[in-house]
A and B are shown apart, each in its own frame.
Chain A
Amino acid sequence: MNRLLKRFIRAGAFISKEINEVRRQPRLVLSLILGPFAILFLFGIGYQGESSNLSALIVIPRAGAYSQNVEDYRKLVGQQLTIRDVTTDEAAAVNRLKQREVDLVVVVPADASKQISSGAQVRVPVYFNEVDPLRRDWITYLSFLYINEINKQTVAAIAGQGQQNAGDVRSAIARMRNTLAVLDARLSAGDISQANSQVKSMQSSSANVQLAVGLLSQFLATDTTLVKPPAPQDPNQVNIANGSQAATRLSTDLQGLDDEVGGSTPDPQKARERIARVRTDLDTLDKVTQQFQTINPLVLASPFYPVAENKAPVKASFTSFYSPGVLVLLLQHIAITLAALSMVRERLLGTVELFRVSPVSPGEIMVGKYVGFLLLLGVISGVLLLMMSNEFTVGGVHLSLGVPILGDWILLVLTLALVTFASVGLGMFISALSKSESQAVQLSMLVLLTSVFFSGFFLRIEAIWPPVRAVSYALPVTYGIQSLQVIMLRGGVPSPAFWVGDVPFPAILLALFALGLFFSLLSYILFRREFRRE
């Protein structure tokens, strides 16, 4: 018989053996398929996202007009913070924090107004008692957010006060208008001396108006990273941005009027032209001031607010987001455990001795086992995908977790096949290192634990120190999660990708294949050594 055919037959012995062995253990089949689904299902119904709600105590100064009504403070904070109580006893509050009855204690400083008035920033102590680093960072960030909110409200109050003050500016402008009318009348009457006196009066009033309007215009027209004031297109156009220019122009025009009226023989026609210019300047300044008054103080304090819009193709629930990871993690674990135990069992059963005497080679054994496990895990993956996907309905009723699968099914299947390939390789490697079943199981569990921490399943890989990230990329699950999340939830092709003809092929799958090949070769070398005659 053809030698090649015999090789296939010998490898086939292991394919059918592995499948039959699993088939003969209904409980194992049940746990292999229903177990992972049950985990996913429980996760889906049980996981409600990271709880970000924190409880807080507010400590207010004994003296001062601070409200002791907890509801007043509750109105100030969002959903992330629940104000439990308001107290003046800081020591008792800190004690409750130590007892972990509350998450935060916020101490309102006694002399905040005084410190602000003196130009100092006010220190607001926020105490917490947390060992979880993630939660610790969250509390720190939340403190920053709430202090920002307090700052915003403070600025808004100041802006409101400024708007009230703007009323005085408008009164001054109105007075300047009246003086201008008197000036005009005096000029018409030929009373140059009185006219000159009116101009001097206006010049002294305009200094305050110019300062006030100049400041608020500057405030409104401040050039920041996010805000660029529009360039004035029409000098006569009234807007907040050119208020500052109008204030400067008023000064120039008043000086021109003074020069005209203060001369020995003032020209009435020219003087009236100057008066008309000053009137225009005052109109502009009045409109700018009026506009400033109509702006909501909160807008002045916090001119921007975000409107977040998710451009992802699907609004994934926690279950949907974690399902690809859970699927790959389970697949890797099952593959590793099956492969790791498989060769150890052969060794313990004594079949290895039979193989050594028979014409079967280590390569044929490995190929047979590989194909057997690929077929078995292919069936498990298929059933799990069906149970996960939102396509699975019976009689119109969704019996699945409703996880969207937006991407290319070929890439999806390829990813799962390569994850299985690499995981079986890793399992074979563990098997080659293990002398007993308990060792193999222990090493498999270590890989599972490593995967949970390093694969990007819960913690982002970018947060891992780059040299240690090598551990992440030694795990098939890392590539699987990255690839499946893009394929299933984004409907895309994991990048970077290279083109095979017109088809984009993700480089990550090539890396996964290389990883599988590496583990397979390593295992093959070790098995060959084991098969070598002693």
Chain B
Amino acid sequence: MSQPTPPQNDGSVTLQLPVVPSPPAVTPVMANAAQARQPMIEVRNASKRIGDVDIVSGLSFEVNAGEIFGFIGPSGSGKTTTIRLLTGVYGPTEGEVRVMGVAPSHPSRRVQEKFGYMPQLFVLYPNLTVQENLQFVASLYGMSPVLRQKRVSEMLKFVELWDARNRVASNVSGGMQRRIELAASLLHHPALVFADEPTAGIDPVLRGKFWEEFRRLRDDGRTIFVTTQYVGESEYCDRVGVIRKGRLIAVDTPIALRRLAFGGDIIDVEASGLTLGTVQSLTQLDMVKEVQPVSRRQIRVSVDEAGPAIPAVLDILSANNATVSRIEEYRPNFDEVFIVLMKQDAQHRGESDLANDE
């Protein structure tokens, strides 16, 4: 694994002047035109009831081939149930789930051979060595002994477990066990990887490595469906689905979700000579939705889109003799975005607070 880029957990990016809107964190790379046309995953109004409880209901979304699709929600919101619906462990009580064009609850081996699955917990054998565990998983996918040996060696080196290959799995750290699971899910070059909270409980450096690998796989044309509790990791995804209490409340790109939460982009301005006239002038602009004074030297401007709005705001400030010391797009971190979305959904459902969300 090459030197990773540490993840930025707050999700914010500070821009220096001249200000330009930041591009999406990731760009989906489609393996080919056919893949681009055909959604890898299609979920139509799917529900899963266990006993008398609706674990998830009314799920509808698509995941395109060659993208990282993040599935974010609080603990107990239905992420693992959704991944089980997609992998075919569960069949939907209602609605339809199609993965690679087939219902995963009635999968063909050919389709299953293209799945990679990284469960939430370590589910391999504690009495086997790291290498034996990977050999076992490779055999499950029917890999020949020669190919198996080659791939296991490659993956052991890739996840930096080569030196630990002969240690029994029960004697390696939790982080190492997650790496074994990651390696196991990728051994057979899957076209579609399901990763259920792959970064839960591991250190930030390792988390960064995982995301780097997901991006590499995505760039290689593979599709990643990943659930996470770390809201900040949404930035690494091409698109994100937000789930709360078994219902999908939003599906979009990370930037679009932020706009959805806050009604557009926000520009923070710090300047001397700010007056009421300056504020009024700013509100005259079509692209400005609202101007909020924060202090005598600071205002927060809500716009549809920060990129084209910043030059216009600078012009108005200059025209009103305000001396700008700092202007930047305020990018609320995804924790804030997430909380706002959760609150909006709670309000929409007529719930008083988020106390019941874990």
The residue from A6, A358, A360 contacting B117, defined by CB atoms under 8 A apart: A358
Pairwise interchain contact B119-A533, C-beta atoms closer than 8 A: no
Pairwise interchain contact B123-A349, C-beta atoms closer than 8 A: yes
Query: Smallest CB–CB gap between B156 and chain A, Å?
Result: 17
Q: How many residues of B contact A (CB 8 A)?
A: 36
Binds A, one of B14-22, B137-145, B203-211, B240-248: B137-145
- Given A9-B144, A24-B127, A359-B112, residue A16 in contact with residue B90 (CB < 8 A): no
Which residues of chain B have C-beta atoms less than 8 A from A359's C-beta?
A: 109, 112-113, 140-142
> Which of chain A's residues has its CB closest to B48's CB?
A534
Give the contacts of A494-525 with B (CB-CB under 8 A): none
The residue from B128, B135, B136, B142 contacting A24, defined by CB atoms under 8 A apart: B128
Pairwise interchain contact A354-B135, C-beta atoms closer than 8 A: no
Which residues of chain B have C-beta atoms less than 8 A from A208's C-beta?
A: none
Query: Smallest CB–CB gap between B105 and chain A, Å?
Result: 4
Report the separation of the CA atoms of residues A479 and B113 in the bound assembly, to the nearest whole angstrom. 43
Which residues of chain B have C-beta atoms less than 8 A from A20's C-beta?
A: 127-128, 132
Which residues of chain A have C-beta atoms less than 8 A from B142's C-beta?
A: 1, 5-7, 9-10, 359
> Which of chain A's residues has its CB closest to B117's CB?
A357
Pairwise interchain contact A360-B136, C-beta atoms closer than 8 A: no
Q: Is A21 an interface residue (CB 8 A)?
A: yes
> Which of chain B's residues has its CB closest to A23's CB?
B127
Pairwise interchain contact A534-B113, C-beta atoms closer than 8 A: no
Pairwise interchain contact A10-B140, C-beta atoms closer than 8 A: yes
Q: Is A265 an interface residue (CB 8 A)?
A: no
Report the separation of the CA atoms of residues A404 and B144 in the bound assembly, to the nearest whole angstrom. 46
Q: Is B312 an interface residue (CB 8 A)?
A: no
Report the separation of the CA atoms of residues A1 and B144 in the bound assembly, to the nearest whole angstrom. 9
Q: Is A17 an interface residue (CB 8 A)?
A: yes
Q: Is A355 an interface residue (CB 8 A)?
A: yes
- Given A21-B127, A533-B91, residue A9 in contact with residue B132 (CB < 8 A): no
Q: Is B168 an interface residue (CB 8 A)?
A: yes
Pairwise interchain contact A354-B91, C-beta atoms closer than 8 A: no
Q: Is A13 an interface residue (CB 8 A)?
A: yes
Which residues of chain A have C-beta atoms less than 8 A from B90's C-beta?
A: 533-534
Give the contacts of B128-160 with A (CB-CB under 8 A): 128-129, 132, 135-137, 139-145
Pairwise interchain contact B112-A358, C-beta atoms closer than 8 A: yes
Pairwise interchain contact A12-B139, C-beta atoms closer than 8 A: yes
Pairwise interchain contact B132-A358, C-beta atoms closer than 8 A: no
- Given A17-B128, A21-B125, A359-B141, residue A534 in contact with residue B91 (CB < 8 A): yes
Which residues of chain A have C-beta atoms less than 8 A from B307's C-beta?
A: none
Q: Is B88 an interface residue (CB 8 A)?
A: yes
Q: Is A317 an interface residue (CB 8 A)?
A: no
Q: Is A67 an interface residue (CB 8 A)?
A: no
Report the separation of the CA atoms of residues A6 and B147 in the bound assembly, to the nearest whole angstrom. 13
Report the separation of the CA atoms of residues A533 and B144 in the bound assembly, to the nearest whole angstrom. 28
Report the separation of the CA atoms of residues A17 and B125 in the bound assembly, to the nearest whole angstrom. 9
Q: How many residues of A contact B (CB 8 A)?
A: 28
Report the separation of the CA atoms of residues A354 and B123 in the bound assembly, to the nearest whole angstrom. 8
Which residues of chain B have C-beta atoms less than 8 A from A6's C-beta?
A: 142
Report the separation of the CA atoms of residues A486 and B115 in the bound assembly, to the nearest whole angstrom. 54
Pairwise interchain contact B139-A13, C-beta atoms closer than 8 A: yes
Contact mask A401-422 → B, CB, 8 Å, 1/0?
A: 0000000000000000000000
Which residues of chain A have C-beta atoms less than 8 A from B135's C-beta?
A: 13, 16
Which residues of chain A have C-beta atoms less than 8 A from B106's C-beta?
A: 533
Pairwise interchain contact A17-B136, C-beta atoms closer than 8 A: yes
Contact mask A349-391 → B, CB, 8 Å, 1/0?
A: 1110111111110000000000000000000000000000000
Q: Is A25 an interface residue (CB 8 A)?
A: yes
Pairwise interchain contact A350-B123, C-beta atoms closer than 8 A: yes
Query: Smallest CB–CB gap between B325 and chain A, Å?
Result: 56
Which residues of chain A have C-beta atoms less than 8 A from B112's C-beta?
A: 357-359
Which residues of chain B have C-beta atoms less than 8 A from A3's C-beta?
A: 109
- Given A353-B89, A357-B112, residue A9 in contact with residue B143 (CB < 8 A): yes
Report the separation of the CA atoms of residues A293 and B144 in the bound assembly, to the nearest whole angstrom. 96
Pairwise interchain contact B140-A355, C-beta atoms closer than 8 A: yes
Pairwise interchain contact A21-B128, C-beta atoms closer than 8 A: yes
Q: Is B87 an interface residue (CB 8 A)?
A: yes
Give the contacts of B45-61 with A (CB-CB under 8 A): 50
Report the separation of the CA atoms of residues A359 and B91 in the bound assembly, to the nearest whole angstrom. 17
Pairwise interchain contact A358-B115, C-beta atoms closer than 8 A: yes
Pairwise interchain contact B140-A356, C-beta atoms closer than 8 A: no
Q: Is B124 an interface residue (CB 8 A)?
A: yes
Identify 28 residue pairs between A and B in the complex whose beta-carbon atoms are under 8 Å apart, listed by A's number: A1-B142, A5-B144, A7-B142, A9-B142, A9-B145, A16-B135, A17-B128, A20-B128, A21-B127, A24-B129, A25-B127, A349-B123, A349-B126, A350-B121, A351-B123, A351-B124, A353-B89, A353-B119, A353-B123, A354-B117, A357-B87, A357-B115, A358-B140, A359-B113, A360-B140, A533-B89, A533-B91, A533-B105
B contact residues vs A (CB 8 Å cutoff): 50, 84, 87-91, 105-106, 109, 112-113, 115, 117, 119, 121, 123-129, 132, 135-137, 139-145, 168, 194
Contacts A13-B140, A357-B89 known; 16 new A-B pairs at CB < 8 A: A13-B136, A16-B132, A16-B135, A17-B128, A350-B119, A353-B89, A354-B124, A356-B87, A357-B88, A357-B112, A358-B115, A359-B112, A359-B113, A359-B142, A360-B140, A533-B106
